[in-house]
Amino acid sequence: MRAASGRAALRPAPYGPTDVWSYNGSVPGPEIRVRQGDRIRILARNGLDEDTTIHWHGIRTPNAMDGVPFLTQDPIPVGGDFLYEFDALDAGTFWYHPHQRSVEQVGRGLYGPLIVDEADPIRVDRDLTWMLDDWRMTRDGQISADFGNRRDAMHGGRIGNSVTINGQIPERIAVRSGERIRLRLVNAANARIFGLDFGDLVPVVVALDGQPVTPHAPDSGIVVIGPAMRVDLVIDMTGKPGDVITVIDAFYEGLEYRLVDLAYGPDRLRDSVPDWSMDLPPNPLADPDMTSPARHRIVFNGGMMGQTMMGGGMGSMMDQMREGNMWFINGKAATGQMMDPLLVLPQGTSQVFEMNNRTAWHHPIHFHGHSFRVIARNGQPTRYREWQDTVLMAPEERVEIAFVADNPGDWMFHCHILEHQAAGMMGVIRVDPRATKT
């Protein structure tokens, strides 16, 4: 797979192509699709003018294959290559992207889907993937070059003005009356959170971040998906031939817009909703032992209108802000390439993180190398104890996650709003095979 600059037809004709950075010349990059248990081997080549890496988001790889520059590998130099090789332990919807200067590399189009099929998938008529992205385009249809600016970093990140599905600003997508679709949503945007409203359709959430969940309707009927997150939906197309359903993104109040129309063709596939099971088989994840897990408090601070800004921050945070760092985990903004671990977890132990978002912003918090259960929000147990690798925290929200620290190595723990990550909102968590349980 070769990362290089190229062009892509993000906008419909008659507009011309946009200059992008992409894998193998396409946005998104090639779909990697394997069966659960398969071994994946990818030779990554760097055709960019700067260093890069590839991170396999949500895949539980060995640490050396995780694609984090300096932490798990040397960056791939210009013209160089790196062989990634790992087993697809979990079935589900995953994706890949660089972990080097991600703000710009992902923001210019370097990402793609990685789908691991179950040995025995649930029955559907069509299995579709929508990789959502949000671009900041100039009036001449090129990508605005203002990556990494301070304003984006202090607020909600780089929110753009042009949303694509699979690399195209979509008009309409054809569906058939009566068909059942598995729709795999992947949010590849730097910063935009989506809240999809499917109108009269009733989407059922069957997996989150690749991991099966008890099939359920999304809260208020809106499918919320923060940066880097995935949601697998099963949707029965219950409309009549000729109908049109408008999918609306309603996440930001007052800024709702039409994402795409689903247009029913003239024929009908079936008359009633099929009674096929929507239960995906579980993946081989170790369940945390909740009798006496180790507990850690993790506090997120910073940003515009946060406590730190209002003068409630500790002096050290104020000093760090003067140096251009705007987001903090337990009072520290990560800078540079080498980071001391925030936490050292003995391998094999059950862990609970009590996370507290003391900011005025949403943050999708991602942990590498593991999936975790989201067990509580604001002190209330969650209904489905869903497995995730990226959990969206609302402003001032408290979220508890639980997992077994079973994958040894140094793992990134960061906000996936890429501008927040770059402005300090990251850290390293070490899963130590030698540490003894205390």
Binding region for Cu ion (CB under 5 A):
363, 415, 417, 420
Considering CB distances under 5 to 8 angstroms, the limit depending on partner class, which of ligand C2O, Cu ion, none binds residue 363?
Answer: Cu ion
Q: Choose the binding region for ligand C2O from 81-89, 235-243, 311-319, 409-417 (rule: CB under 6 A).
A: 409-417
Task: Work out which of 163, 228, 259, 298 binds ligand C2O, going by CB under 6 A.
Answer: 228
Q: Choose between 57 and 420: whose C-beta lies nearer to Cu ion.
A: 420
Considering CB distances under 5 to 8 angstroms, the limit depending on partner class, which of Cu ion, ligand C2O, none binds residue 398?
Answer: none
103 binds ligand C2O (CB under 6 A): no
Q: Choose between 326 and 415: whose C-beta lies nearer to ligand C2O.
A: 415
CA 163 – CA 356 distance, rounded (Å):
31
Give the x/- contact pattern for ligand C2O in 183-212, rule: CB under 6 A.
------------------------------
Q: Is 331 left (phi over 0), alpha (psi -120 to 50) or beta?
A: left
Is the bond preceding 281 in cis, omega lying within 30 degrees of 0?
no
β-sheet bridge partners, residue 297: 354
Site for ligand C2O in 325-354 (CB under 6 A): none
Residue 170 burial (CB < 10 Å; 0-12/13-18/19+)? middle
Task: Work out which of 8, 55, 211, 361 binds ligand C2O, going by CB under 6 A.
Answer: 55
CB of 363 to Cu ion, least distance (A): 3
Neighbouring CB atoms inside 10 A of 174's CB total 9
Q: Give residue for tokens 């990550």.
A: 421
Is the bond preceding 282 in cis, omega lying within 30 degrees of 0?
no
Number of residues that this document lists for the chain: 438
368 binds ligand C2O (CB under 6 A): yes
Q: Choose the binding region for ligand C2O from 4-12, 237-245, 308-316, 410-418 (rule: CB under 6 A).
A: 410-418
CB of 228 to ligand C2O, least distance (A): 5
Task: Work out which of 29, 76, 88, 99 binds ligand C2O, going by CB under 6 A.
Answer: 99
The token pair that represents 209 in the structure block: 């971040």
Considering CB distances under 5 to 8 angstroms, the limit depending on partner class, which of ligand C2O, Cu ion, none binds residue 99?
Answer: ligand C2O
CB of 221 to ligand C2O, least distance (A): 28
57 binds ligand C2O (CB under 6 A): yes
CB of 405 to ligand C2O, least distance (A): 17
The token pair that represents 108 in the structure block: 């210019």
245 binds ligand C2O (CB under 6 A): no
Q: Choose between 176 and 184: whose C-beta lies nearer to ligand C2O.
A: 184
* Maximum CA extent, the chain: 67
Neighbouring CB atoms inside 10 A of 276's CB total 11
Contacts 24+ apart (CB under 8 A), 262-265: 262/172, 262/173, 262/175, 262/201, 262/237, 263/172, 263/173, 263/174, 263/175, 264/175, 264/176, 264/177, 264/237, 264/239, 264/240, 265/174, 265/175, 265/176, 265/177, 265/241
CA 407 – CA 72 distance, rounded (Å):
13
Q: Give residue for tokens 């290089």.
A: 4
**Residues that contact ligand C2O, how many (by CB under 6 A):** 10
CA 20 – CA 189 distance, rounded (Å):
14
CB of 102 to ligand C2O, least distance (A): 7
CB of 99 to ligand C2O, least distance (A): 6
Please list, residue by residue across 378-409, b when 16 or more beta carbons sit within 10 angstroms of its beta carbon and e when fewer do.
eeeeeeebbbbbbbbbeeebbbbbbbbbbbbb
Q: Choose between 6 and 226: whose C-beta lies nearer to ligand C2O.
A: 226
Give the x/- contact pattern for ligand C2O in 412-431, rule: CB under 6 A.
x-x-x---------------
373 binds ligand C2O (CB under 6 A): no
Q: Choose between 122 and 228: whose C-beta lies nearer to ligand C2O.
A: 228
β-sheet bridge partners, residue 131: 186
- What are the CA-CA distances from residue 318 to residues 157, 323, 380 (Å)? 20, 9, 33
Considering CB distances under 5 to 8 angstroms, the limit depending on partner class, which of ligand C2O, Cu ion, none binds residue 358?
Answer: none
Neighbouring CB atoms inside 10 A of 127's CB total 15
Considering CB distances under 5 to 8 angstroms, the limit depending on partner class, which of ligand C2O, Cu ion, none binds residue 420?
Answer: Cu ion
CB of 181 to ligand C2O, least distance (A): 26
Q: Choose the binding region for ligand C2O from 19-27, 146-154, 167-175, 408-416 (rule: CB under 6 A).
A: 408-416
Task: Give contact residues for ligand C2O (rule: CB under 6 A).
Answer: 55, 57, 97, 99, 228, 366, 368, 412, 414, 416
